[in-house]
Structure 1
Amino acid sequence: MTNDPSPLPRPEPSRKPLPEAAKRALAEAEARRAEAAKHEASRAMEFQGPKGPEPTRYGDWETKGIASDF
């Protein structure tokens, strides 16, 4: 152990303001995410189907240790 006092916190470097093109891109991405979430909510529910992402796309063919196939 040392008797040194704890170091002082470093000030955060100031960020440059975002250019207008970057602000537009962020707003467009947020709008796209909102549209995708709305589309996802409107899809029909699948009964007794896989929970989570599509298994054929992500290669996950098991649930709780039980392998399944169509």
Structure 2
Amino acid sequence: MVLRFYRNLILIGKPGRGFRHTTKHNETGRRISVKNPKGPIYRDEPHLAYLDEVEWQEWMDDFRS
């Protein structure tokens, strides 16, 4: 649960959009949310940054090991 907080890219000022999109399921006519194959788009928002990107990357390296 700690990683859920620290993996949030808003901490370094890079919010993302487009993690998921919908595709139409023609049999039922409903739209189903699926992972976006193109990947998300990240914006640079330095006023939201709480940590340096270098410092954040060091933390992530510590969590992975």
- Report TM bin, short chain: under 0.3
TM-score normalised to the size of structure 2?
0.24
Bigger fraction of residues in strand: 2
Radius of gyration: which is bigger?
A: 1
